Amino acid sequence: MSVLFISDLHLQAKRPDLTAAFAQFLIEQAPQAESLYILGDLFDAWLGDDAMDDLQQTVASQIRQLINSGTAVYFMHGNRDFLIGEDFAAQTGVQLLKDPCVITLGDQPVLLSHGDQLCTADKDYMAFRHYIRNPATIQKLLSLSVAERIAMAENIRNQSQAANQAKTDEIMDVTPAEVEKLMTEHDVKCFIHGHTHRPAIHTLTINQQPAQRIVLGDWDKKGWMLHWDESAGFSLTDFPL
């Protein structure tokens, strides 16, 4: 059994290199795995299943081809593409996951999350997340025209980039106490997430037992993937784009 995990590709028209790298990944690495887990921010922005652009349509078709070849694909929403819905799932064949959720690898329960909900020191972001993820807000957003959604997304992106420049690294990282709390609640010794763009395998102690937190890398100057199989366990690797 072989499983792959990726996150934070931020696919967008301005970065054709990322789209090409993902297409190559789907042809070369992904078919070797039984399952592929995408833990959020596959796309840099998602304005609704009814507003897919040419790039997103192409990626959706490529994912469908992978699934048709025999690799199951699971998708968890990120902070950039939380509006991905059932229509996208039906078009591609991906299985949507709740955030957080627990899967089983071998005989080990493993907790999965995008990770942004654990950045509790970033009070401004947490307040925005609470507002933007409200079902009433989502319904209002999807009622706007596609042109209005594009303009709103651009405005939010500009404001976010300006605000983030003034934030420290600690504020934008996950809060250790929240990680411990979540892992304890779900009674797991392994936690995989993305969002922070700080790929690493951290050792920690949960319920007085050794545990690990694995952070997936973002695709920018290079790509990242986490591989698991029953004999070797976890391997976090990068590769050129």
Mapping DSSP onto H, E and C, the string for the chain reads CEEEEECCCCECCCCHHHHHHHHHHHHHCHHHCCEEEECCCCECCCCCHHHCCHHHHHHHHHHHHHHHCCCEEEEECCCCCCCCCHHHHHHHCCEEECCCEEEEECCEEEEEECCHHHCCCCHHHHHHHHHHCCHHHHHHHHHCCHHHHHHHHHHHHHHHHHHHCCCCHHHHCCCHHHHHHHHHHHCCCEEEECCCCCCEEEEEEECCEEEEEEECCCCCCEEEEEEEECCCEEEEEEEEC
Binding residue ranges for substrate: 79-80, 122, 160, 164, 167, 195
Binding residue ranges for Mn(2+): 8, 10, 41, 79, 114, 195, 197
Binding residue ranges: 8, 10, 41, 79-80, 114, 122, 160, 164, 167, 195, 197
